[in-house]
Amino acid sequence: MTVNFLPSDFSRTIELGCPQSHKTGAGINVTSFVPTYSLHFKQQKRTLTQQYTLVGTRLDNSITIIVRHDDRNTDQQQARISNTIYNIADVSPDDSNNYIKYDYLTLIKVTKGA
C-alpha cells in the first residue's frame, strides 16, 4: 500500500529528544526536555470508531502524527510541539520498500504532577 501525502501537509515542526535531569542552583533535581533534532509533521485524524475504541485506555487523550521516516525516531522518548511536551507512547516505523517512507508517532501530553 503506497501512501501519498502532499509536501504542504507537513507544515508544522516537531522537536524530538529525551528528558534530562539536572540540578538547579538550590540543589533540586529538575527534569527538562532536551531536543535532539526536528522534523516536519502532519497530524493524523482519527475516525469516530477509532476514537471510541481508545476511550478508557492509556491512549485516550493521545494524538498521532506522521513524519518522514528516520531511524532515530525509535530512540526518542519525548517530543515538543509549540512549547507543549509529549511523551512518545508508540513509534510505528515504516519498514516498506517504498522510496519515501513515513513513521507514525503516538504522543501523550505530559502533565506536571501526574
pLDDT values of the chain reduced to their tens digit, one per residue, 114 residues: 556 788 889 999 999 999 998 887 788 888 889 999 999 999 887 665 655 565 566 666 788 999 999 999 999 999 999 999 999 999 999 888 888 899 999 999 887 754
Whether 98 is covered by a domain: the verdict is yes
| DSSP H stretches of helix in 1-114 | 48-54
Whether 1 is covered by a domain: the verdict is no
Whether 74 is covered by a domain: the verdict is yes
Q: What is the pLDDT of residue 114?
A: 47
Whether 105 is covered by a domain: the verdict is yes
SS3 at position 14:
strand
Whether 102 is covered by a domain: the verdict is yes
How many domains is the chain partitioned into structurally? 1
Q: What is the pLDDT of residue 62?
A: 83
What domain range is 104 assigned to? 9-109
Distance of CA 99 to the CA centre of its chain: 22
Whether 71 is covered by a domain: the verdict is yes
Distances (CA, A) of 3 to 19, 101, 104: 32, 9, 12
Whether 114 is covered by a domain: the verdict is no
